[in-house]
Amino acid sequence: MSTGAELNASMLDRIRHDLVGLRMPRALEALDHIVRRLEHGEIGALEAVDILLSEELTLRENSRIKTALRMGRLATIKTLAGFDFTFQPSLDRDRILTLAQLGFVARGEVVHFLGPPGTGKSHLATALGVEAVKAGRSVYFCTLADLLASLARSEREGRLQERIRFFCRPVLLIVDEIGYLPVVHDGGNLFFQLVNARYERGSMILTSNRGFAEWGEVFGDAVVATALLDRLLHHAVVVQIEGSSYRLRQHAELMPEHVRSKAVLTAPGPVADAKRRGRPPKNGHASHMGAPA
């Protein structure tokens, strides 16, 4: 006749076999420790099951987040907990924490972070992207330069619409560093086509060191800039950051006075009037796009 110990051992072997079959490695690893706690009376049967499943779920969730961050090109992880709000008193901390609740994502809104270099725009954009990934939303992060290079290459290869569809798939698209580097030829029209495709369908976060009134200069065409802003500011949250560079805080005394002084962005406003208003200049790529509403 089998003893109780033998029955327990046999049952544990079956459980281990089942956990392997169910591909639950973390639960399998934790099983013996949980059983010992159960035998010592530290936990009850239901609590043992709860702990076992929670261990596995935590592993899978961490794996999901890690994969999603990698696929979304959020390689450098920034968090809101790691942001020094005391260094940027112009920021409303509660407003940023409200954004972290991701209501703007559900509403398909565009969040703009505007400010001089080093004031935390990319950090905040990335941190909100990380929060979205944790909440199960798809996210993709890129600089404007990389985005436009990708679109321009796809256009040359006859795959532009396919690439635009790729950038429309993420629930949240983060475009960093608008205004830092020169825009490629026809880049404004390419960006307009993507923005128009995502308009009221997907949320975006944009960071820029240039005020909206300077976007005509950034994109080399005031008409294109007007069309872009028409869509990007329709359902938008604008966060203006005024302050010094966090990266240069320890070396501020070494910087020239004109660099050290606080940079002030042009207040958000309309782009300078162009001779022809409405849709971007017609060409083979943008002629089918409608005029700004």
Residue 6 pLDDT: 63
For residues 61 and 96, state if they share a domain.
no
Residue 288 pLDDT: 38
Under the phi-then-psi rule, with left for phi > 0, alpha for psi from -120 to 50, and beta for the rest, what region is 226? alpha
Q: What CATH number does the domain containing 183 carry? A: 3.40.50.300
For residues 235 and 117, state if they share a domain.
yes
For residues 193 and 106, state if they share a domain.
yes
Residue 221, CA distances (Å) to 41, 148, 183, 217, 279 in order:
74, 15, 11, 7, 12
Within the chain, which residues score under 50 in pLDDT?
1-2, 248, 251-252, 259, 261-279, 281-293
Q: Please report whether residue 178 resides in a domain.
A: yes
Residue 35 pLDDT: 92
Q: Please report whether residue 216 resides in a domain.
A: yes
Q: How many residues does the chain have?
A: 293
Q: Please report whether residue 162 resides in a domain.
A: yes
For residues 91 and 52, state if they share a domain.
no
What is the count of structural domains for the chain?
2
Residue 69 pLDDT: 92
> Sheet of 236-240: strands edge to edge?
139-143, 172-178, 203-208, 110-114, 236-240
Residue 270 pLDDT: 47
Domain end among 71, 93, 108: 71
> Locate tokens 């009221």: which residue?
200
For residues 113 and 49, state if they share a domain.
no
β-strand partners of 205: 111, 174
For residues 58 and 92, state if they share a domain.
no
* SS3 (DSSP) at 167: helix
For residues 203 and 231, state if they share a domain.
yes
Residue 75 pLDDT: 72
Instruction: Give the C-alpha separation, 168 to 10, whole Å.
Output: 53
CB neighbours (10 Å) of residue 3? 8
> Which sign, positive or negative, has the C-alpha torsion 284, 285, 288, 292?
negative
> Locate tokens 């400010």: which residue?
115
Q: Please report whether residue 265 resides in a domain.
A: no
Burial degree of 224 (CB within 10 A; 0-12, 13-18, 19+) = buried
Residues 6+ away with beta carbon under 8 Å from 90: 240, 241, 242, 243
Domain end among 44, 71, 98: 71
Residues 6+ away with beta carbon under 8 Å from 125: 111, 113, 141, 174, 176, 205, 207
Q: Please report whether residue 272 resides in a domain.
A: no
For residues 109 and 172, state if they share a domain.
yes
How confident is the model over 220-277, as pLDDT tens digits? 999 999 999 999 999 999 999 986 655 545 544 555 555 454 444 444 444 444 444 4
Residue 263 pLDDT: 43
Q: Which helix (H) or strand (E) holds 114?
A: strand 110-114
Helices then strands (H, E): number in the chain? 12, 5
Residue 246 pLDDT: 59
Q: Please report whether residue 228 resides in a domain.
A: yes
Residue 76 pLDDT: 78
Residues 6+ away with beta carbon under 8 Å from 46: none
Biggest CA-to-CA distance, the chain: 97
For residues 235 and 205, state if they share a domain.
yes
Q: What range does the domain containing 64 cover?
A: 4-71
Domain end among 22, 47, 71: 71
